[in-house]
Every structure is written in C-alpha cells, then in structure tokens.
Amino acid sequence: MKKITIGEAARQSGVKVPTVRYYESIGLLAAPSRSEGNQRSFEPADISRLAFIRHARELGFEIDAIRTLLTLQDDPHQSCASADAIAKARLVEVEQRIRSLMALKAELEIMVEGCGHGRVDQCRVIEVLADHGQCMHPHH
Amino acid sequence: MKKITIGEAARQSGVKVPTVRYYESIGLLAAPSRSEGNQRSFEPADISRLAFIRHARELGFEIDAIRTLLTLQDDPHQSCASADAIAKARLVEVEQRIRSLMALKAELEIMVEGCGHGRVDQCRVIEVLADHGQCMHPHH
DNA sequence: CCTACATCCTCTAGCGACTAGAGGTGCAAG
DNA sequence: CTTGCACCTCTAGTCGCTAGAGGATGTAGG
C-alpha cells in the first residue's frame, strides 16, 4: 500500500489541493489517515470519490445534492429514485437556464449590431440598457 | 421637487431597498441628499440609473463592467468603443455558456433516460457521475 | 396630541464554493 | 546540510447581495 499524497490525489482527480482539504472540512470526503509527519495519505477510493464530486460539480450540482448522490453511491442497494429526482431537477434547471440565456443572447446581439461605433449618445448598447422597453423579449 | 424615498426608488426601479443601499456603499450610485431626519431623498435621475444597473445585472454584466458602462453613459461624448467591447465580450461569454449548457443537458438526459428506476447499482445517474469516460461530449 | 405601524437608519454577519496568503513543518535530492 | 518544493493550519477575502438586530422617523387615525 503506497501512500497517495494530497498533491497526487489532486492531480489524479482533477480537484485542486485546497479544494480537497475544503471537501474534507465540510465532510464530503472522509478524513484520510495521516503519515508520521501529519501528512494526509489517501486511498484509491478517495480519488474516485473526488472524481465523482468533480464531475458532479462540473454538471452544476450543488454540494448538498452531491452529498445525497454520494450517500446513494455508498449504499448501492437503495432505490435510485432520489438520484433520478436530483438529476431530473437539474435537467429542468439547465433547460430553463438555456432558454433564458438564448433570450439574453438575442438582446445582446441587438445591442452589438446596433452600435454604430460612434459616440456614446448614439450607442445602442447604452441606450438599450437605459430603456428596458426596447428589449424584444420579455424574459425578465 | 418632491422627495423620493428609498422605498419609492426601489419600487420604481425594481431594485430592492437593501440593494440600493448596497449600490450606494460600493459607489455605483452617488450618495443622495438626506431629509431632516437623515432619510435618503432620491432624484428621478437616480431611478433611471438604478433601472440601468438592474437591466445590466439581468443581462449578467458584472458590477465592474456596469461601472464602466455607467461612466460612459455619464459622458455621452466619449467613443462607445468600450461599451461595444464590453457587450461583445458578454455576448461571447453567453454563447460559450449556452454551448456548455447544451452539452450538459445532453449528458443529463442520458443519465435520466438510462435510469431504470431500480436500485442504485444499476443506476446510470450514479454510474455516469462516477465515470467521466462515459460522457458523450468532451465539454469539460 | 397620542398612538400605532410602516418605513427608514446603521451595523454586522451570513450565503456558496471556493481561493489566497501568512507562517510554519516535512521530506527527498544534490 | 542545504535547497526547495510540497505539505500543514488558520484566517480572511472573493462576489453580489441578503438577513437580522436594534433603534429612529414619518404618517394616518382617533
């Protein structure tokens, strides 16, 4: 059993060193054993767990949701209904966010296209910001 | 000249009362004059400014970008090149974010569709999270 | 004029999810 | 043995607000 340092764990999982310590501090990752000199010594399982967390974070899951997903992973005999519900909720969020960003994109495009590159008093960017009534889409 | 209270300013601009005070504290809004009893008394121009800020925030501009946009608005004889650049940068960001969210949506859909609603050890949600190699899209 | 009540004031602390930095210790190579 | 990197703990900062305490002011009704 070779010891995995925090740096090594970070490299292999793609989670930064301070973030690994942070995850430990909030109880997302069990505190690993320590070397003689008080340095953390991780197991391969910890690296998988970190990679799991990282992937879930990249998908935009909140720490609390990840906490739930991890307890599910820890006990594979449970029903996966909660995992399913969490993922579905996230999907709805993402779809909502995409729709809102599309509307936003449209508005930004109007602003940018309308800019005559002259002085501010003819600039559509400033004008549209100042007067919401000029928006095409009632997205907000 | 009737006095506009902070509550009235908030109502008219759509910015919440504590947020108005916050904007004043960070210098985004000039400190208004005060009544005898030390209460803020806003001008109509302040309300336009607040509405401008609100709209820009809704479009996802950061406070620092808004600060720049506001100085441009304050001096309409400047070139609008910076406003244009800020809006364009924001547009690029938004487009990038949309692309990444679309990839993410696809991945979440695979997870959710693959869930057989059985036990966790057969659940695609947990499985995909644990193994990034199963992602279809190399978006992250 | 008095009372009730909404609204205002300042100040501090908290949110999420880290990130940065200070000040110190451990460890492997040259 | 010394250099230099990686590690340790701890605190404080980031962003853009938001919540709450504890008190002052303004207004409408009786």
Please report whether residue B8 resides in a domain: yes
Please report whether residue B88 resides in a domain: no
Please report whether residue A14 resides in a domain: yes
State the pLDDT at residue B133.
63
Tens of pLDDT, residue by residue over B6-24, are 999 999 999 999 999 999 9
Whether residue B5 sits in one domain with residue B62: yes
Averaged pLDDT score across all residues of chain A: 87
State the pLDDT at residue A124.
78
Whether residue B70 sits in one domain with residue B103: no
Answer yes or no: do B58 and A140 touch at CB < 8 A: yes
Token representation of residue A97: 């966010």
Q: Kindly determine whether the C-beta of residue B60 is less than 7 Å away from any atom of nucleic acid strand C.
A: no
Whether residue B124 sits in one domain with residue B68: no
CATH number at residue B27: 1.10.1660.10
Please report whether residue A125 resides in a domain: no
Answer yes or no: do B88 and A52 touch at CB < 8 A: no
| Nearest DNA or RNA nucleotide to A28 (CA to C1') | C17
Q: Kindly determine whether the C-beta of residue A38 is less than 7 Å away from any atom of nucleic acid strand C.
A: yes
Rounded average pLDDT over B43-48: 96
Asked if residues B40 and B77 have their Cβ atoms less than 8 Å apart, the reply is no
Is the per-residue pLDDT at A138 higher than 60? no
Tens of pLDDT, residue by residue over A14-70, are 999 999 999 999 999 999 999 999 999 999 999 999 999 999 998 889 999 999 999
Whether residue B74 sits in one domain with residue B109: no
Total structural domains within chain A: 1
Whether residue B103 sits in one domain with residue B50: no
Interface probe with B: pick from A15, A53, A59, most Cβ of B within 10 Å: A59
Boundary residue ending a domain (B78, B105, B125): B78
> Which residues does A19 contact at the CB level (< 8 Å), separation at least 6?
A10
CA distance A36 to chain B (A): 32
The span from the CA of B56 to the CA of B10, in Å, is 16
Whether residue B108 sits in one domain with residue B61: no
Domain of residue A10, residue span:
1-67
State the pLDDT at residue B140.
47
Please report whether residue B19 resides in a domain: yes
Please report whether residue A110 resides in a domain: no
Q: Kindly determine whether the C-beta of residue A59 is less than 7 Å away from any atom of nucleic acid strand C.
A: no
Distance of A10 CA from C10 C1′ (whole Å): 45
The span from the CA of B134 to the CA of B27, in Å, is 49
Asked if residues A112 and A125 have their Cβ atoms less than 8 Å apart, the reply is yes
Buried b (16+ CB within 10 A) or exposed e, B110-127: bbbebbeeeebeebbbbb
Please report whether residue A109 resides in a domain: no
Residues on chain B touching A132 (C-beta within 8 angstroms)? 51, 55
State the pLDDT at residue B20.
98
